[in-house]
Amino acid sequence: MQNTTNTNETSMLRAELELLMKERENLLIIAGASAGLIAELNTHDLPIRTVEAADLLATTINKLSEETLQDALNSVHASIER
């Protein structure tokens, strides 16, 4: 009985981990595409509300660790020149 319970719990944890890894990959793609978009924007040509939204997005992206940001950029095959 205990072995069956452990097997079920292990299976549930494995399935949850797989879901979290897929979700992370999707979020990395979103972050990478967003970072690329922000890097290419010319704010002089945009309405102020759009600039404010882009600033909020950029601020959020800048909160990512360098490693996570690099993973995000790699996920969309992008790079940002420094």
**Are 2 and 46 a contacting pair, CB within 8 Å?**
no
pTM summary value: 0.80
- Phi/psi of residue 80, nearest 5 degrees: -115, 125
| pLDDT digits 0-9 by tens, 41-72 | 988 989 999 999 999 999 999 999 999 999 99
Tell whether the model's pLDDT for residue 5 goes beyond 90: no
Question: Nearest to residue 2, comparing CAs of 13, 10, 14?
Answer: 10
